[in-house]
Amino acid sequence: MKKLKPQPFEVKRVAALAMILQMLHFSRGDEMRWPLGICFFILLFVSGCGQSSALQEVIDERFMMDTLVKITVFCEDKQQGKAALEAAFAEFERISILTNRFPQGNGSSALGDVLLANKNSGLKPIKVSNDTVAILERCHYYEQLSGGAFDVSVGPVMELWGFGGSQRVPTDAEIKQTLDLVGYQKILLEPQQKTVYLTKRGMGIDLGSVAKGYATDQAAAVLKKMGIKHALINAGGNIYALGSKADGSPWRVGIQDPRNQQGLVAIVSVKDAAVVTSGDYQRYFEEAGVRYHHILNPATGKPAREVMQTTVLGASATDADILSTILFVLGPKRGMDFVQGIQDTQAIFITPDKQITMTNQLTKQLEFTGADGYRIIHDNS
């Protein structure tokens, strides 16, 4: 099968050294249930990494894009590091405003591209930024490639379920009616004119499955431009490791047990790569003992059920963010067939019966922890 190159945003090989600790992830002021720890629990094992004594560690973390973003840089001058961190966080804030489908809750009057496009659905095209054009073009590429398993026009259905507000299980009739507003083909993007038009009144774009990945890539590019050669970014489970450890060895990243916030199911070794996870524990509510999570199948308007968690490894956090959602919707069988057509991309699937499926190359990178009840069922070539 011909490999399709994901055309990642610029990623250069540099060394990195950092440790991401467990973090607390809050929802948008609602009562949605979240695990006490970060949705994607990452441990970076850094003992014996050969860090140079001349380098100084500078760390900052801020709550933005509905998650705790933590950035660690190593540099010779702390002032340089602090300035670089400010610039990187400014990128997260800038992308957050552009891509947020909700009004800013900090008193800001800024209206982003997505919010304006949604407000003007069925009325008129909206002028958008270069970043929004780039994001929507990338999304459209994967919308077509996945046959609609990924679709950013799913916003109205997200609102119907109350993700971002008061959660409830809608009726089948309500879902069917709302699905009439869904369909990436109804989004008219004109890259040359830099406009986007949602052709039906009531349509809405939701970039929650790509925005943090794109912001992570942009923040990494800013750090590099400011002379930072050693850095690690964690945007709520969107991990971007720039290069390897200082001694050239890979980073060891723990993959969370989706049913035990303190546990790991595996440890994966990565260099110069993004690691992104989508899980049914990240944003959900329960009704009558049933878990309803936010990763919706655009075809049915209901939560995808074949897996509990997917993890994607690749060069671009943007692509990995999108792909983790696609694979979650497709499930392990169709998802495995799909991801093997994407160049330089690896994936892990965890099903509700605790079976782990992964792409063949990961057998050399992944260490299974033997967590209770989990087992690897096969490795695909």
Q: Which residues are annotated as a binding site for Mg(2+)?
A: 209, 321, 325
Residue with tokens 């989508």, as numbered in its chain: 278
In the chain, count of helices (H) and strands (E)?
7, 19
Residue positions in the annotated binding site? 209, 321, 325
Which among 156, 167, 196 is positioned nearest to 301, based on CA atoms? Answer: 156
- Element holding 159 (H helix, E strand): helix 155-161
- Provide the phi-psi class of 288: left if phi over 0, else alpha when psi is between -120 and 50, else beta: left
Instruction: Classify burial at 107, counting beta carbons within 10 Å of its beta carbon; exposed 0-12, middle 13-18, buried 19 or more.
Output: exposed
Give the C-alpha separation, 241 to 146, whole Å: 27
Backbone angles phi, psi at 182, to 5 degrees: -100, 140
End-to-end CA distance of the chain: 12
Give the C-alpha separation, 231 to 104, whole Å: 29
From residue 345, give the alpha-carbon distance in Å to each of 235, 311, 379: 20, 11, 15
Residue type, 67: T
Are 84 and 75 spatial neighbours (Cβ–Cβ below 8 Å)?
A: yes
- Would you state the structure tokens that stand for residue 194, as one six-digit string? 């830099």
Residue type, 100: N
